[in-house]
Amino acid sequence: MTTNLYERARFRISGDRAILAEYGTGVDQVVNDKVRQMATLITNQKQPGIDAVVPSYCTLSVHYNPLQIGFPELTDLLWSLESELDRAEIPCPRTIDIPVCYGEEFGPDIEFVAQHNGIRVDEVIRMHTGSAYHIFAIGFAPGFCYLGGLNPKLHTPRLETPRVRVAAGSVGIAGAQTGVYPLESPGGWRLIGRTPLRLFAPERPHPILYQAGDTIQFRSVSADEFQHISRLEIP
């Protein structure tokens, strides 16, 4: 189905201080680009009363102060900005190389992913590193990236019962998505590997290594390489 970028957004009230603008459905890079363009335009407006702009897959959440700007004014502003998409200069996408040690203690679910899809573990690694992944959104935790482009032969359901603790850097699969846990946290994705990189470091000038719109390329490394990179990453 062809995405109609000229179809007007649909708006939903999201609590008493936010509006959710919907620009499409599902995982669609064209729609996601429009969301990021709209986020750029509204941020550049520096409109009094707008506190935060949060892009996602196909929606844009705008948090505002209702004492400074009303819901009708905000929807009018968003509709008017849709006619100015051509002047929205979103950052050029970068390709971020992420080394990953797959399997064993780094990826305890890789055998399950292989068995579920009727393939070998080495094929899981080959397929997972063989795609470039578009970052559709960052959320859940600082630096957690939701990636599109996972090979259909790797699609695997998430855990029925989430883990209480997932190590920082863990790479997982849930349904048709893959992603990386930047911080230790609970999680229900199937873990297939781990990166030694610190994906989120608040002391850095840019705490997160990537942003929505960038591309991630995973690269398989050995356990020795993992340990070597880990030592370099210690602040």
Same domain, 65 and 111: no
Rounded to an integer, what distance in angstroms lies between the CA atom of residue 20 and that of residue 146?
19
Higher pLDDT, 99 or 30: 99
Same domain, 115 and 166: yes
Same domain, 82 and 125: no
Number of domains the chain contains: 2
**Closest CA relative to residue 193, chosen from 127, 80, 108:** 108
116 pLDDT higher than 50: yes
Domain boundary among 33, 58, 87: 87
Domain boundary among 87, 116, 137: 87
Same domain, 108 and 174: yes
| Position 28 in a domain | yes
Same domain, 62 and 115: no
pLDDT band at residue 201 under the 50/70/90 scheme: confident
What's the mean pLDDT in 193-211? 89
Same domain, 99 and 197: yes
170 pLDDT higher than 70: yes
**CB-facing half-sphere around the CA of 200: CA atoms within 13 A:** 17
114 pLDDT higher than 70: yes
Share of the chain above pLDDT 90, in %: 43
| Position 228 in a domain | yes
Same domain, 70 and 100: no
Same domain, 168 and 214: yes
Lowest mean pLDDT among 7-21, 143-157, 186-200: 7-21
| Res 235: pLDDT | 60
146 pLDDT higher than 90: no
Average pLDDT, the chain: 87
Same domain, 125 and 220: yes
| Position 41 in a domain | yes
Q: What is the pLDDT of residues 5-46, one digit of tens each?
A: 445 678 888 888 888 888 877 677 788 788 888 888 888 888
Rounded to an integer, what distance in angstroms lies between the CA atom of residue 161 and that of residue 164?
9
Rounded to an integer, what distance in angstroms lies between the CA atom of residue 138 and that of residue 212?
6
What's the N-to-C CA distance of the chain in angstroms? 48
Same domain, 100 and 140: yes
Rounded to an integer, what distance in angstroms lies between the CA atom of residue 167 and that of residue 178?
16
| Position 187 in a domain | yes
Tell me which residue range forms the domain holding 132: 95-233
Q: What is the pLDDT of residues 124-138, one digit of tens each?
A: 999 999 999 988 878
| Position 211 in a domain | yes
86 pLDDT higher than 80: no
Same domain, 21 and 79: yes
Domain boundary among 36, 52, 87: 87
pLDDT band at residue 2 under the 50/70/90 scheme: very low
| Res 1: pLDDT | 37
| Position 178 in a domain | yes
| Position 4 in a domain | no
* 220 CB-near residues (< 8 Å, 6+ apart): 99, 100, 101, 102, 125, 129, 193
pTM for this prediction: 0.77
